[in-house]
């Protein structure tokens, strides 16, 4: 099954497939999201979002081009209809006014705090008790309604990417890093910080990431077409299988989906 799926994805992304003269090129944008949207050193793309969009484009009779940008810029490009698809945004009331989301989510993230192994565990589930704490957040990220409402309580340090926050945490420049566990898991090893920082339980929340399109009226047909095709992937269990293939949790649409286990704090 996976061999067949791999061949379909390779063909959909253009490996060995002839270009179609009538195909419309769609441009997908996003930041580098571990297991979701990544580019290798050789220029090739991989991740759950890449696999899904390759298949959707092929079924819509389009081609798909991928580009990386800082997250705030990628969002702004889709809001302004300068790109066709944003890969991976969580929902927020503000974003819903500016972006048109698919009906179904692409993946599910655990949003957590990371702290230093050598320090006291400052987080036990009550955001109000973190008043005055130095907390790093990634610029442009949404952390769920409860965290956003409590944000004025904290001494917020915005960082451009997760790696910066982890380094600040290890050096003691912040007390906590708010992030999703998926992006941190891959970053810790290369940074050599496995022994310095640890995930804290419980989760802040769990959030779903989506595909999103411009709200411009002339995008309506494209949005509806891709939304319908994506819904078919969800109903058939294809999204769940792609999630397993990429090591990504997806919402529990079916038995094959990977449901997030309880938060497991590492031994300090």
pLDDT for 16: 42
CB under 8 Å to 45, separation ≥6 — which residues? Answer: 13, 37, 38, 39, 66
Whole-prediction pTM? 0.87
pLDDT for 137: 98
Query: What is the rounded CA–CA span in Å between residue 256 and residue 240?
Result: 6
pLDDT in tens, 149-162: 999 999 999 999 99
In CATH, 109-206 is 3.40.190.10: yes
Query: What is the rounded CA–CA span in Å between residue 174 and residue 114?
Result: 11
- Indicate whether 20 pLDDT > 60: no
pLDDT for 100: 98
Mean pLDDT (whole number) for 65-82: 97
Q: What CA–CA distances, in Å, run from 161 to 61, 127, 138, 165?
A: 35, 23, 6, 7
Domain ranges of the chain: 2-107+208-246, 109-206
pLDDT in tens, 146-200: 999 999 999 999 999 999 999 999 999 999 999 999 999 888 888 999 899 999 9
Superfamily of domain 2-107+208-246: Periplasmic binding protein-like II (3.40.190.10)
């Amino acid at each position: 099954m996976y061999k067949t799926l791999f061949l379909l994805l390779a063909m959909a992304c253009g490996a060995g497939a002839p270009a179609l003269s009538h195909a419309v090129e769609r441009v997908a944008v996003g930041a580098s999201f571990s297991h979701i949207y990544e580019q290798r050193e050789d220029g090739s793309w991989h991740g759950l979002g890449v696999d899904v969009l390759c298949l959707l484009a092929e079924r819509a009779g389009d081609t798909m081009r991928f580009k990386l940008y800082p997250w705030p810029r990628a969002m702004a490009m889709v809001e302004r209809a300068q790109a066709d698809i944003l890969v991976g945004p969580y929902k927020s009331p503000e974003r819903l006014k500016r972006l048109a989301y698919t009906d179904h989510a692409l993946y599910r993230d655990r949003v957590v705090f990371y702290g230093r192994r050598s320090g006291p565990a400052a987080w036990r589930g009550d955001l109000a008790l973190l008043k005055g704490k130095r907390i790093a957040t990634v610029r442009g990220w949404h952390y769920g309604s409860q965290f956003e409402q409590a944000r004025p309580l904290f001494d917020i340090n915005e960082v451009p990417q997760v790696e910066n926050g982890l380094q600040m945490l290890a050096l003691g420049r912040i007390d906590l890093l708010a992030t999703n566990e998926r992006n941190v898991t891959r970053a810790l090893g290369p940074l050599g910080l496995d022994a310095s920082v640890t995930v804290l339980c419980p989760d802040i929340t769990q959030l779903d990431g989506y595909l999103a399109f411009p709200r411009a009226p002339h995008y309506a047909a494209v949005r509806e077409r891709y939304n319908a095709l994506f819904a078919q992937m969800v109903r058939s269990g294809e999204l769940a299988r792609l999630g397993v293939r990429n090591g990504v949790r997806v919402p529990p649409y079916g038995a094959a989906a990977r449901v997030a286990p309880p938060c497991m704090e590492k031994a300090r």
